[in-house]
Amino acid sequence: MAKMNLVYSREEIAERVTAIGAEIERDYKDVLAKSERLLVVGVLNGAFIFMADLVRALGDLPVDVDFVRLSSYADHTSSLGEVVILKNLDTEIQGRHVLVVEDIADCGLTLAWLTEYINKRHPASLKVAVAVDKQARRKQPVNLDYVGFTVDDGFLIGYGLDYAQKYRGLPGLYELEITE
Ligand code: IMP
Ligand code: MG
């Protein structure tokens, strides 16, 4: 039996995303040159809802959007594990101001790998936004510039986050309690 406990409501999430969006707009307003646009890179599938909300909270900031899809495997022979690209970026990174948007940072493997991948392609700048920073199992240090919510541990669903591809459409964030 699975039980779900509400952790953050739709309203609380909306309020946080509005605040982060305003912060991002302020931070990039004077960074972007005239005719330059922020390149917002979403990590599929989990980030699709947070990203949709976030780009609409950026006010007048001009943006391009792109997506990557990654698959990560815990590799017990190295602390890094392995990440495979299932869908690559369609946009040239070099010289662009890039904002990666991810649903959740857990071990940190996915974001550590992706930020290194993007940095190798010489962006003008690179920042990371996550809906949730889950810190208990962090193995790879990752720099999170914009964080919706910080939680210690627990398996979260909703707001794009899934359990076996289910529950992504729940408007709030819930902790999934799996009991026998
Ligand atoms: P990391 O590489 O360990 O940071 O893992 C990040 C990925 O694991 C996220 O993009 C999610 O897809 C998945 N993940 C980690 N924690 C959770 C969770 O609590 N709920 C749903 N997915 C999670
Ligand atoms: Mg993900």
**What is the DSSP secondary structure assignment for residue 59, as one 8-state letter?**
T
Distance separating alpha carbons of residues 157 and 21, to the nearest angstrom: 22
User: Can 106 be counted among the known catalytic residues?
Assistant: yes
CB 153 within 8 Å of CB 123:
no
Side chain identity, residue 92: E
113-142 average pLDDT score: 96
pLDDT the model gives residue 179: 74
- What residue ranges line ligand 1, CB within 6 angstroms? 46, 72, 102-111, 134, 155-156, 161-162
3-state secondary structure of 47: coil
Nearest atom, ligand 1, residue 140 CA: 4
Give the rounded percent of residues in the chain with a pLDDT score beyond 90. Answer: 88
120-135 average pLDDT score: 98
Tell whether the model's pLDDT for residue 125 goes beyond 90.
yes
Tell whether the model's pLDDT for residue 166 goes beyond 70.
yes
Sign of the alpha-carbon torsion through 142, 12, 48, 163: positive
> Which of the following is catalytic: 53, 103, 106, 133?
106
pLDDT the model gives residue 118: 98
pLDDT the model gives residue 72: 79
pTM of the shown model: 0.95
CB 42 within 8 Å of CB 80:
no
Tokens for 113, please give them: 């790998």
Cα 111 to ligand 2 centroid, rounded to whole Å? 9
